Amino acid sequence: MKGFKAFLLRGNVVDLAVGVVIGAAFAGLVGAIVKDLLTPLVSAIAKLPDFSGLYFTINGSKFLYGDFFNVLLAFLIAALSVYFLVVLPMNHLMAKVKKTPDPTTRKCPECLSEIPVQAKRCRFCTAVSA
How confident is the model over 86-107, as a mean pLDDT? 82
CA distances from 38 to 53, 77, 82, 89, 118 (A): 20, 7, 12, 19, 58
Residues 72 and 48 in one domain: yes
Query: 114 with 107: CB under 8 angstroms?
Result: yes
Q: Model confidence over 73-83: pLDDT tens digits?
A: 778 877 887 78
Distance CA 55, CA 70 (A): 12
Q: The CATH number of the domain where 36 resides is what?
A: 1.10.1200.120
What is the domain range of residue 33?
A: 2-98
Q: Model confidence over 11-42: pLDDT tens digits?
A: 677 778 878 888 888 888 877 877 787 777 87
Residues 64 and 116 in one domain: no
Least Cα distance to 102 among 117, 91, 112, 119 occurs for 117
Number of domains in the chain: 2
Residues 115 and 82 in one domain: no
pLDDT reported for residue 59: 93
CA distances from 94 to 16, 22, 31, 83 (A): 22, 20, 26, 15
The 10 Å Cβ neighbour count of residue 56 is: 10
What does the CA dihedral 24, 30, 32, 37 come to, rounded to 10 degrees?
180
Residues 44 and 87 in one domain: yes
Residues 58 and 114 in one domain: no
